[in-house]
Amino acid sequence: MSGGQAQLMWDEAVTGYDFGPGHPMDPVRLALTMRLVEAYGLDRAVRTVSAAAAGESTLRLVHRADYIAAVRAASADPRAADGSYGIGTVDDPAFAGMHDAAALIAGQSVAAAEAVWRGEALHAVNFSGGLHHAMPGGASGFCVYNDAALAVARLLELGAQRVVYVDVDVHHGDGVQAVFWDDPRVLTISLHEHPRTLFPQTGWPEETGGAQAEGTAVNVALPAGTGDAGWLRAFHAVVPELLAAFRPEVLVTQHGADTHFEDPLAHLAVSVDAQRLVAEACHRLAHEHAGGRWVALGGGGYAVTEVVPRSWTHLVGIAAGRPVDPESLVPEEWRSEVFRRTRQLGPLRMTDGRQPVWRDFAESGYDPADRLDQAILATRRAVFPSHGILP
């Protein structure tokens, strides 16, 4: 296979990652995304691969043995889960088969990283992944195993010396940051709603990495209500310069769709159109700074019919070199599938009707009274000097 071909990780069994009726993390969002990918014929523009579940030795790259054992025990007897290790809580209720489903998602992300590192694919997408809150010893925020951290850890195991992880989920990528806090080989960048107003209440600009890895944790804490122009301004004010300075061998990105203005769990006001532009920017930055090596993951997103499938179908199209026209009408067969599964009407177009524009931070200067610019400058001042960049 040509190393230029994109790879899409998919196994229908990932929809078994199901916390039960009424939980925001409805696995229908994954199934509907794959059906939309198929409706646009993008599955024929990529190599679709189903990888094996991550085994014990792979999970141990990030997670403690006692935690993995606790997940297995809760999977076998969900009623016995009592909240220890974060399992059996409101956010992370135990369910039968939880270990198998979470390990399967992790296996897809690890295999995506392996394919890109080995040159079997230039880009690889696992939109079922991006479960960035799971900690080495506990579940958190709907996340059981941290597939994003496992993908990065596997790259390091294979010999990578410089990996950049960019997280644009509305929530702070706290689990990935924690895993690599003291590892100078990994630069984690998270753009998220300010911790004052959103879970997990971490991701302050002052969180910049451990003593041996100062400046390798980067956090942009965005004011609630930030929309397309501010979100894009913040991304472009921080991410490109840091990638140029760090010179990664691989770019790993997490594309939680919960920054959207219709998402029920957060307070940003970003459109699908801006999410598409950030995916395009990540693709371009991978080619500019990482030899094109790009692993793209999903993440949060709880507007499960209106937003998530469109956002991640755009992501797959960009990775495949077949970007979806945002003005295109959503295929009617997919809208019928949405109604059959959810009794909701699906969106009509692949756009929210926005044409986002933003002011470049370097060119336009900053307004010291503007809360967004304050957030950008706080991040640049905290980490840019560690990389030899003027803030």
The residues annotated as belonging to the active site are: 133
Contact 319, 313 (CB under 8 A): no
Secondary structure of the chain in HEC code, one letter for each residue: CCCCCCEEECCHHHHHCCCCCCCCCCCHHHHHHHHHHHHCCHHHCCEEECCCCCCHHHHCCCCCHHHHHHHHHHHHCHHHCCCHHHCCCCCCCCCCCHHHHHHHHHHHHHHHHHHHHCCCCCEEEECCCCCCCCECCECECCECCCHHHHHHHHHHHCCCCCEEEEECCCCCCHHHHHHCCCCCCEEEEEEEECCCCCCCCCCCCCCCCCCCCCCCEEEEEECCCCEHHHHHHHHHHHHHHHHHHHCCCEEEEECCCCCECCCCCCCCEECHHHHHHHHHHHHHHHHHHCCCCEEEECCCCCCCCCCHHHHHHHHHHHHHCCCCCCCCECCHHHHHHHHHHHCCCCCCECCCCCCCCCCCHHHHCCCCCCHHHHHHHHHHHHHHHHHCCCC
Picking from 301, 304, 306, 303, the residue whose alpha carbon sits closest to that of residue 345 is: 306
Phi, psi of 80 (to 5 degrees): -85, -10
Tokens 């370097």 — which residue? 362
